[in-house]
């Protein structure tokens, strides 16, 4: 049983789905490539921008240090200030020093200022509540002991670094510069430190200073200043998220140690509150920067960078989607259109397989493979129909005359009885039926090999018997040459030669000739036995044939002739009596190789003409050389008779009949049979041309025309 086909399993949908998948896949690849390319571009831009920004930032940070130092330098040079420090050291008014420090903060560009004694303890601070000592503040320690600092590679006279302030109103980490304090006489008076708080404002200033953007149009990066990987100041709106990320993200934690070692990180992705940044963490340098793990992060927002690419992507997606929509629509339409004939053909084939004749296939064949399939299918259908019809006809013909007289010729056909199976001989010589020798009677064994099973028929050359070849245990037909001919040595020699040639023809539409032999002076020919009837009998029983059958039988005879002509054998006696049908309804031409020896044997015998006058070509009547085209003339007569039910020329007097073949124009078939295809009428007219050179020149040409006619007809119209 055929499995039921679901809609998506149809050829149209399969084609469509495959195309759709391909188109979608292609679109996905384009989008992916565009996306990857955009990401790569953004990363490259960000990376370049961050490198340049990082460098400038470092310089700007140093610059802040220089500006603090410049104020500090001026302050420490001023003798009034030094005197104030000396006074305080001597136990005087440290509060007035603290006030002076506070007053000078704006001039110092600083937010904190403090002075320590030479022993490191606090003398005065601009902010209240300062710690008493600063042993952990490297820059102060260096300013107190410049020689040691110099030895450690910090030449001074000022030292830049960081100070953690955990007192006063504004605790935090301060970017600071420290210097030694000396009296005009050179006595150490301790050290002074000024600092600016590392906070959002500084971050903002630094950002403005540092980042002009390496390329115009690039978005400005954000800056975060870190201590212990915690934000001190930033221009980022998402500072808290950044802190959380810095504290938790394993990738960033790994980076922390590298930064502590003084290395810059690679460009890393940062996802902050739904925004994506590419950032790079760099250590911040200063004498004691490491204590406080000072670092800065420059973060480049990716979204604005990707925006142009995103727009491009969106455009591709939009155009792609629109294109996809149109392409898919078109592809479904074209798949349906292309497969529509296949669907029709599949339906027809299914009907055929189910034992039903499909509706007439009305497809117009296209010039492609589907067209070839359509044409072939139509031809196959026509052939099957014709075969089916023929088998039915053969069956009824075998049973007797048809009950429906419609397709029969108008009058009884006298020619069919007296036809051409008879050789033309002077009336006087016409034989009465010779009795068969005993060995040839039913039950006898002939030539010690063939057991006679019955008489198949009698012809001009002799009798045909159905025999069993006892050697091969096979049924064959055995044609016994009548005694008149058998005694002619020239005839026998030629017959042998012709049979040798005829044996070479192997074709499904040619009856196989097996052997030639002679037994007790009786020459015989054995051939394939067919349990079937001749075309003559079919015509007698049914009259003219329907067009598809005409085309089929004629095409098979033409193909058989083509095979014979290819090995150089001309039949010379093509006629309905020499076409036999096998059980499958295929036509087979018989009696190849017999006509020529008979003609040669009787040549010159007065009043004798050998052949079947109804099918005889003008050149045969004139005694000229017969060739392939002679068989085509006879095929023309046969075709005429198949179409109309009667031969083109007829007369009770043989001389008249021959004269008609020689000179008369044959009737134009379409005039007699109105619904005959004009091309078939034209073909018959050409085959019946008097001069061989005016006929089709080969059986192959005729075969082709008949095939085209059969396919074009589609088996639908009937004559
Ligand atoms: N190979 C065969 N198998 C079955 N039947 C055959 C075979 N050959 C001939 N016959 C039968 O024998 C009959 C006589 O054949 P035969 O060829 O002798 O007669 P013909 O064709 O009328 O005359 P001829 O061929 O001599 O002009 C045929 O009509 C056919 O019915
Ligand atoms: Mg015959």
Distance in Å, CA 70 to ligand 1 centroid: 136
Residue for token pair 């921008």: 49
Report whether pLDDT(22) > 50. Answer: yes
- For 661-670, write each residue's pLDDT tens digit: 999 999 999 8
Active site (annotated) includes residue 199? no
By the 8 A CB rule, do 475 and 467 touch? yes
Q: Coil, helix or strand for 425?
A: coil
C-alpha distances out from residue 611 to 257, 574, 597, Å: 117, 10, 11
- What domains does the chain contain, in order, with CATH numbers? 64-200 (3.30.450.20), 209-306 (3.30.450.20), 360-414+533-719 (1.10.510.10), 434-529 (3.30.200.20)
Return the residue whose CA atom lies nearest to atom 17 of ligand 1. 459
- The DSSP element (H or E) to which 543 belongs, if any, is none
**End-to-end alpha-carbon separation of the chain, Å?**
38
pLDDT for 555 equals: 95
Helix, strand, or coil here: 308? helix
Provide the residues around ligand 2 (an ion) whose CB is within 5 A: 459, 578, 591
Residue whose C-alpha is closest to residue 105's, from 176, 161, 188, 191: 176
Look at residue 411 in the predicted model and tell me its pLDDT.
45
Whether pLDDT at 345 is above 60: yes
Ligand number nearest CA of 527 is: 1
Residues within 6 Å of ligand 1 by CB: 421, 456-461, 464, 477, 511, 527-530, 534, 573, 577-578, 590-591
pLDDT of residue 476: 96
The yes-or-no verdict on residue 194 having pLDDT over 80 is yes
Closest C-alpha among 234, 241, 233, 227 to residue 271: 241
**b/e map of 87-119 (b: 16 or more CB within 10 Å)?**
ebbeeeebeebbebbbebbeebebbbbbbbbbe
Nearest CA to ligand 1 atom 6: 456
Q: Residue 371 to residues 163, 205, 364, 375, 709: CA-CA distances in angstroms? A: 92, 80, 8, 6, 16
460 or 584: which leads in pLDDT: 584
For the CA of 575, the closest atom of ligand 1 is 21
Helix (H, G, I), strand (E, B) or coil at 385: helix
Phi/psi at 114 (5° precision): -145, 155
Q: Identify which has the larger pLDDT, 474 or 107.
A: 474
Average pLDDT of the segment spanning 450-458: 92
How many angstroms separate the CA atoms of 356 and 381, rounded?
11
Which protein residue's CA is at the shortest distance from atom 27 of ligand 1?
A: 421
Pocket test for ligand 1, best of 577, 595, 634, 638 (most atoms within 8 A of CB): 577
Looking from the CA of residue 612, the nearest atom of ligand 1 is: 27
Q: What is the pLDDT of residues 55-110, one digit of tens each?
A: 888 888 888 888 899 999 988 888 888 888 888 888 766 788 888 888 888 888 89
Distance from Cα 569 to the centre of ligand 2, integer Å = 16
Distance 458 CA to ligand 2 centre (A): 9
Distance 466 CA to ligand 2 centre (A): 14
**Which range among 34-43, 396-405, 501-510, 632-641 shows the weakest confidence by mean pLDDT?**
396-405
CA of 385 to the centre of ligand 1 (A): 28
Using the structure block, give the residue that is written with the tokens 């002075």.
115
| CA–CA distance, 231 with 348 (Å, rounded to integer) | 81
Of 200, 218, 573, 631, which is the active-site residue? 573
Q: Which of 254-263, 300-309, 515-524 has the lowest mean pLDDT?
A: 300-309
Please state the atom number of ligand 1 nearest to the C-alpha of residue 463.
18
Closest ligand 1 atom to residue 531 Cα is 4
Q: What is the pLDDT of residue 612?
A: 83
Ligand 1 atom nearest residue 458's Cα: 14
Sign of the torsion angle spanned by Cα atoms 136, 142, 144, 145? positive
Model confidence at 164: pLDDT above 80: yes
Q: Is the Cβ–Cβ distance between 510 and 557 less than 8 Å?
A: no
pTM above threshold 0.85: no
Distance of CA 62 to the CA centre of its chain: 67
CB-CB neighbours of 250 under 10 Å: 7
Region of 606 (left: φ > 0; alpha: ψ -120 to 50; beta: rest) is beta
- The single residue listed with the structure tokens 């400005």 is 220
Task: Please provide the average confidence, as pLDDT, over all residues in the chain.
Answer: 84
Nearest ligand to the C-alpha of residue 421? 1
Model confidence at 524, pLDDT cuts 50, 70, 90, reads very high
Residues in a beta bridge with 523? 518
321 CA distance to ligand 2 centroid (A)? 76
By the 8 A CB rule, do 222 and 299 touch? yes
For residue 610, pLDDT over 80 is answered with no
Cα 589 to Cα 98, 458, 528, 592, 660: the distances in Å are: 137, 17, 11, 8, 26
Burial track 54-84 (b if 16+ CB lie within 10 A, e otherwise):
bebbbebbeebbeebbebbeebbeeeebbeb
Question: Closest Cα to residue 647, out of 619, 622, 616?
Answer: 616
Ligand-binding site membership of 575 (annotated): no
Which ligand approaches the C-alpha of residue 611 most closely? 1
Q: What share of the chain is helix, strand, coil (3-state, %, to 5)?
A: 50, 15, 35
- pLDDT at residue 513 in the model: 93
Round to whole Å and give the CA distance between 459 and 482. 10
Secondary structure letter of residue 476 according to DSSP: E
From 450, 452, 454, 457, mutation site for ligand 1 pocket: most ligand atoms within 8 A of C-beta? 457
Specify the residue with its C-alpha closest to ligand 1, atom 25.
Answer: 459
Query: Which ligand is closest in space to the CA of residue 536?
Result: 1
Q: What is the pLDDT of residue 417?
A: 42
31 three-class SS: helix
Kindly state the DSSP code that residue 211 receives in the 8-state scheme.
-
pLDDT at 3: 64
State the closest ligand 1 atom to the C-alpha of 461, by its place in the atom list counted from 1: 26
Contact 630, 615 (CB under 8 A): no
Nearest to 130 by CA among 165, 176, 181, 161: 165
DSSP state of 196: E
* Ligand 2 center to 399 CA (angstroms): 22
Nearest CA to ligand 1 atom 19: 459
| Rounded average pLDDT over 463-481 | 94
| pLDDT at site 405 | 43
Return the best residue to mutate from 440, 511, 580 for the ligand 1 pocket (most ligand atoms within 8 A of CB).
580
Nearest protein CA to atom 13 of ligand 1, as residue: 457
Nearest protein Cα to ligand 1, atom 10: 456
């Amino acid at each position: 049983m055929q499995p039921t086909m679901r809609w998506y399993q149809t050829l149209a949908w399969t084609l469509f789905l495959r195309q759709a998948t391909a188109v979608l896949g292609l679109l996905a690849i384009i989008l992916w490539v565009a996306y990857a390319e955009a990401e790569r571009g953004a990363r490259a831009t960000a990376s370049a921008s961050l490198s340049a920004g990082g460098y400038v930032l470092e310089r700007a940070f140093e610059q802040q240090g220089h500006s603090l130092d410049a104020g500090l330098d001026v302050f420490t040079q001023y003798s009034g200030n030094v005197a104030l420090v000396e006074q305080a050291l001597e136990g005087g008014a440290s509060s007035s020093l603290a006030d002076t420090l506070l007053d000078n903060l704006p001039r110092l560009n600083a937010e904190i200022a403090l002075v320590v004694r030479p022993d490191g303890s606090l003398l005065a601070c601009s902010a209240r509540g300062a710690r008493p000592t600063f042993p952990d503040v490297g820059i102060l320690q260096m300013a107190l002991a410049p020689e040691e600092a110099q030895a450690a590679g910090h030449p001074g006279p000022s030292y830049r670094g960081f100070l953690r302030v955990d007192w006063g109103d504004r605790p935090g980490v301060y970017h600071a510069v420290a210097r030694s304090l000396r009296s005009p006489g050179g006595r150490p008076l301790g050290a002074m430190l000024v600092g600016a708080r590392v906070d959002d404002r500084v971050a903002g200033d630094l950002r403005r200073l540092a980042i002009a953007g390496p390329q115009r149009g690039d978005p400005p990066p954000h800056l975060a200043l870190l201590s212990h990987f915690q934000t001190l100041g930033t221009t980022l709106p998402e500072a808290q998220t950044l802190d959380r990320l810095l504290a938790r993200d394993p990738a960033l934690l790994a980076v922390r140690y590298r930064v502590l070692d003084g290395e810059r990180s690679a460009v890393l992705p940062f996802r902050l509150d739904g925004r994506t940044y590419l950032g790079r963490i760099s250590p911040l340098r200063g004498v004691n920067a490491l204590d406080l793990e000072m670092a800065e992060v420059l973060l480049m927002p990716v979204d604005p960078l990707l925006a142009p690419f995103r727009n491009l992507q969106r455009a591709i997606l939009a155009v792609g989607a629109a294109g996809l929509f149109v392409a898919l629509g078109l592809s479904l339409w074209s798949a349906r259109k292309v497969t529509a004939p296949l669907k029709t053909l599949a339906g027809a084939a299914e009907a055929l397989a189910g034992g039903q004749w499909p509706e007439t296939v009305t497809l117009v064949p296209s010039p492609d493979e589907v067209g070839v399939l359509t044409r072939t299918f139509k031809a196959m259908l026509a052939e099957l129909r014709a075969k089916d019809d023929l088998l039915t006809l053969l069956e009824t013909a075998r049973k007797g005359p048809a009950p429906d007289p419609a397709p029969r010729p108008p009058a009884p056909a006298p020619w069919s009885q007296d036809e051409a199976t008879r050789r033309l001989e002077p009336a006087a010589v016409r034989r009465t039926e010779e009795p068969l020798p005993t060995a040839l009677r039913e039950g006898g064994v002939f030539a010690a090999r063939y057991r006679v099973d019955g008489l198949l028929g009698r012809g001009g050359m002799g009798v045909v018997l159905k025999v069993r070849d006892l050697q091969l245990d096979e049924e064959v037909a055995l044609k016994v040459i009548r005694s008149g001919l058998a005694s002619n040595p020239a005839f026998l020699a030629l017959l042998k030669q012709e049979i040798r040639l005829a044996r070479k023809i192997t074709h499904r539409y040619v009856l196989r000739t097996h052997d030639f032999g002679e037994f007790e002076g009786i020459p015989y020919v054995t051939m394939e036995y067919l349990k079937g009837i001749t075309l003559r009998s079919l015509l007698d029983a049914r009259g003219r044939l329907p067009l598809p059958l005409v085309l089929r039988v004629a095409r098979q005879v033409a193909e058989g002739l083509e095979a014979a002509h290819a090995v150089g054998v001309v039949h010379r006696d093509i006629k309905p009596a020499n076409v036999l049908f096998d059980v499958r309804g295929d036509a087979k031409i018989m009696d190849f190789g017999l006509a020529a020896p008979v003609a040669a044997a009787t040549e010159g015998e007065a009043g004798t003409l050998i052949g079947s006058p109804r099918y005889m070509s003008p050149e045969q009547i004139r005694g000229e050389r017969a060739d392939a085209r002679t068989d085509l003339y006879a095929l023309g007569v046969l075709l005429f008779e198949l179409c109309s039910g009667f031969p083109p020329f007829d007369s009770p007097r043989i001389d008249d009949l021959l004269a008609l073949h020689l000179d008369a124009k044959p009737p134009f078939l379409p005039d007699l049979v109105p619904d005959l295809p004009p091309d078939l009428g034209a073909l018959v007219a050409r085959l019946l041309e008097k001069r061989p050179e005016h006929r089709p020149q080969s059986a192959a040409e005729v075969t082709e025309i008949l095939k085209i006619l059969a396919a074009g007809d589609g088996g639908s119209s009937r004559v």
